[in-house]
Structure 1
Amino acid sequence: MAENISYLKNEETERRGDANALPFRAAPQNVEAEQALIGAILINNDAYYRVSDFLKTEHFQEPIHRQIFKCASDMIRVGKKADPRTIKTFLREDDKIGDMTVAQYLARLAAEATTIINAADYGRLIHDLAVRRSLITIGEDMVNIAYDAPVDVPPSGQIEDAERRLFELAETGSYGGGFQEFSDAIQKAIELAGAAYERDGGLSGISTGIHNLDQRMGGLQKSDLIIVAGRPGMGKTSLATNIAFNIAHGYEADINPDGSHKALNGGVVGFFSLEMSADQLATRIISEQAEVSSSKIRRGEITEAEFVKLSHCSSEMQRIPLYIDETGGISIAQLAARARRLKRQRGLDVMVVDYIQLMQGSKRSGENRVQEVTEITTGLKALAKELDIPIIALSQLSRQVESRDDKRPQLSDLRESGSIEQDADVVLFVFREEYYIRNREPKPGTEEYLKWETDMAEAQGKAEVIIAKQRHGPTGTAKLGFQAEFTRFSDLAEDDHLPDRYG
């Protein structure tokens, strides 16, 4: 059967034939496997469901097979029968495959088809050959670009581009983007709603482990860039480490039909710590979770009971999927390459960057810091979409907050606020009034001191996470509890009823 199609390639090969020329190497393909799979689908539409999870139209090498598979897919998905009689009306009658018409070719595919038992095997073969063809294209592009690259283009840029394309190929089996049908987007939306129904707490996104925050945000949504900002001392890093630990600690995995893992609850977390070293960050998280002051840990002033708590906590932490990169001054291109590598090797469900102002842009941004931050935030948003994960990025606030009577941050307080505010899907401000009240303590015994004591008692142990922007929901404020000694955030209402986490 294959000779009706493959003769086109044979003619091309013969035309190139030359005693002195190198042998022509055709791209890897298997026309017979494509014919066998399509024939199986035409005689029994159930064969389609054996390959629909991983096989796409573009994986077929022959254009006519792409057309037939596309028509059959569309018809089967809406509950219609796909066979030679129903499909031929959607294809051009005057097209020829060898010496046959389209209708004759469809009839022959169905007549010579085998059972659907081997449909999945044929589908995987077609998919793998398509991936190999894509690898050849990437390899050829790498060679050509390496030969023709301008002097001012460093090899590291080509490596990062090649790694990005290889990652996309590893994730999807194809690359290049382009339009997708609205019906596919609808299907993804329904799957998202189903996942939210099955997930603990009924959240559409990944739970932060803080109920009051989840209520207002629905969890962390895939492909979102979430900015967490605050003045020094407000606890933005503490909030990020709390959320990162909660997500990694709650990780429960399930296996996809293709053998890969997905998170039922929680997730694998990648933490880029540009300010603190990995051991400093680990000490901070241990302090938060074991409720032992980090300053006492550093000075070695812990009791035996506290040491037992730390031991239990460290044993627990060694099992959770939390990965730390402590590279300082990392560029957006380097960060993206490492995030892709982590997702490919270990999986990646949430990423944290601490913090934006310590990252570097490319040389083309020059001395313009606003332009550099714009490149960084745009890159982070693009990476969140590419990896299909939420990215939490921390940011500093400008000093103009301190000049106001009401120290609660506003969007205009973001440093280089135009790009950060524009690219972010969610902007969270961490605010603790206790910090400012404590710093303006009056002289004891005065009337002002009595008022200060009252204000201090009211604000102590409390924090606000102000949702200043949210594309998917309303803005507002989440009231949280804050244990300053352990730099730990928690739900206010439940804080008094929580038992010791370790002990």
Structure 2
Amino acid sequence: MNEASRKLSPIGKDQADQHYREAPNNLEAEQALLGAILVNNDAYYRVSDFLKPVHLHEPLHRKIYEVAGDIIRMGKMANPVTIKTFLKADEKVGDVTVATYLARLAGAAVSIINAEDYGRAIYDLALRRSLITIGEDMVNIAYDAPLDMPPQGQIEDAERRLFELAETGRYDGGFQSFNDAVALAIDMAGAAFERDGSLSGISTGIHSLDGRMGGLQRSDLIVLAGRPGMGKTSLATNIAYNIAAAYEPEVQADGSFKAKNGGVVGFYSLEMSSEQLATRIISEQTEVSSSKIRRGDISEADFEKLVACSQMMQKVPLYIDQTGGISIAQLSARARRLKRQRGLDCLVVDYIQLMTGSGKSSDNRVQEITQITTGLKALGKELNVPIIALSQLSRGVESREDKRPQLSDLRESGSIEQDADVVLFVFREEYYVKNLEPRDEFDPKYEEWKMKMEQVKGTADVIIAKQRHGPTGTVKLAFQSEFTRFTDLADPSFTQYEEH
């Protein structure tokens, strides 16, 4: 047979079966589950936490499951009689009416004991259908080679969709009913009631800051900014370690773990190496100066402290990525991977200006920063974790007499200020007062300087310049520069908030 005749020859039955494959589904399992729910409404609660209407393959079954769920949640009885009024009366299933079909479903019901097994089977088939859709899209896009999606972009997009599918069982997003949103809000309030300190968010380990912010709220982008030398990295490191050290896992119904207190922390250190970061944390925990640790100028007792601290720290779920100049797309991909493999409750990025955008290198740095902050905000929502992003401030602060930072001091500030849910400024007046020391101690101004220095020594202000969910103001903290540690002030009279 020549080439032309082979191409035109009719497809045999075996060939047709190979070319046409139906999407994975099990209508019998769907019918059995719906029947169980119609006979005993308790069956619905065995599957409703993981099985949504969209997971059923047959459109009519989706509608029946959705209507039954609405009726049951209202505290009413869902059965063939009450459900049929919400379905089209003239709709037919084969040669029977919907009312007859509902009666047959109830008649052929399985035991409620089997309901969860059928629900799991339906859910797994829905995941397989979603995987097929993602795979088909990947193949089609790879064949088309569109200019607006290079191979690296396609990999990142596929990874994002697979992550969403793995996390939630669906990747199509879309609208959420207000009913579901209210349920989530009540769950959050319940979790806050049970959590240490009764916070709605994750505790920073610094009580006066928690009192102002209610902890770190999930999906929030928290920008922590300050001039060099103010201690923004120290504060971020303190918070990251406090969260990781307080981690207390709780087993969920599906066997996975969720943080009851504290959490798993991912720390992107674009400026310092992981060793430098670890040295800071060890210094803070052991109260041995970090400069002494680096020089090896430590006693035997100090060394024993370091060893004991390092053994304790090995159990802390704090993961450090020290890649310099990481792009927002790479950062997002690695964060998704960390959440899948180890869990993730908080992300820290040190700092925004050292990151690069996902697109081609551009001369327009403001546009690139916009892309980065928008990407961080989207990532926080996708992973449902708070992201603490550090940022530099412009030099304009130094030329002012009042050196307290303002929102307009944020470098490339437009997008940072706009995308952030919370903006915190770290300000240590001690840093500036120290530099004003008169050279001559007999200078009449020396005593005045000394008094001012005693007032501000060992203190720091965390200025809450923006907060979507609460008030702005200033929180006074203690700062021990030799251990790079921020703590609550010992004297509670100083922890009063200053309103802005």
TM range (shorter): over 0.9
Q: CA deviation at 1:20?
A: 5.3
Q: Which runs of 5+ in 1 are unaligned?
A: 1-15, 497-503
Paired residue total: 481
After superposition, give the CA deviation of every residue in 1:339-397 in whole Å (9 maximum; x if it has no partner): 00000010000000000000000334621000000000000000000000000000000
Q: 2:467 aligns with which of 458, 466, 470?
A: 470
| Two-structure CA RMSD over aligned residues (Å) | 1.4
Tell me the SS of whatever aligns to 1:482.
Answer: strand
Q: CA deviation at 1:18?
A: 5.2
Q: Does residue 482 of structure 1 match 2:479?
A: yes
Q: 2:124 aligns with which of 128, 153, 162?
A: 128
The equivalent residue for 2:342 is 346
C-alpha separation between the residues in 2 aligned to 1:445 and 1:29? Answer: 89
The equivalent residue for 1:387 is 383
The equivalent residue for 1:317 is 313
The equivalent residue for 1:10 is none
After superposition, give the CA deviation of every residue in 1:13-43 in whole Å (9 maximum; x if it has no partner): xxx9856544411111111110010100000
Q: Does residue 51 of structure 1 match 2:32?
A: no
Tell me the SS of whatever aligns to 1:262.
Answer: strand
The equivalent residue for 2:197 is 201
Shift in CA distance, 152/133, structure 1 to aligned 2, threshold 3 Å: closer
Tell me the SS of whatever aligns to 1:209.
Answer: coil
C-alpha separation between the residues in 2 aligned to 1:467 and 1:255? Answer: 35
Q: CA deviation at 1:424?
A: 0.1
Q: Does residue 106 of structure 1 match 2:93?
A: no
**Which 10-residue stretch deviates more, 276-285 or 471-480?**
276-285
Q: Does residue 289 of structure 1 match 2:285?
A: yes
C-alpha separation between the residues in 1 aligned to 2:381 and 2:170? Answer: 16
Q: Does residue 63 of structure 1 match 2:74?
A: no
Q: Which runs of 5+ in 2 are unaligned?
A: 1-10, 494-500
Shift in CA distance, 178/317, structure 1 to aligned 2, threshold 3 Å: same
Q: CA deviation at 1:494?
A: 6.2
Report the identity percentage. 74
Q: AA paired with 1:400?
A: G
Tell me the SS of whatever aligns to 2:482.
Answer: coil
**Which 10-residue stretch deviates more, 230-239 or 275-284?**
275-284
Q: AA paired with 1:57?
A: P
Q: 1:139 aligns with which of 111, 135, 141?
A: 135
Tell me the SS of whatever aligns to 1:468.
Answer: strand
Q: 1:449 aligns with which of 425, 443, 446?
A: 446
* Structure 1 consecutive aligned stretches of length 4 or more whose deviation exceeds 2 Å: 16-23, 150-154, 362-365, 493-496
C-alpha separation between the residues in 2 aligned to 1:303 and 1:148? Answer: 66
C-alpha separation between the residues in 1 aligned to 2:148 and 2:290? Answer: 47
Whether the 8 Å contact between 1:225 and 1:380 is mirrored in structure 2 is yes
The equivalent residue for 1:253 is 249
Taking structure 1 as the reference length, what is the TM-score of the superposition?
0.94
C-alpha separation between the residues in 2 aligned to 1:234 and 1:349? Answer: 26
Q: AA paired with 2:111?
A: T
Tell me the SS of whatever aligns to 2:24.
Answer: coil
Q: 1:175 aligns with which of 159, 162, 171?
A: 171
Q: AA paired with 1:471?
A: R
Q: CA deviation at 1:314?
A: 0.7
Q: AA paired with 2:435?
A: N
The equivalent residue for 2:156 is 160
Tell me the SS of whatever aligns to 2:47.
Answer: coil
The equivalent residue for 2:81 is 85
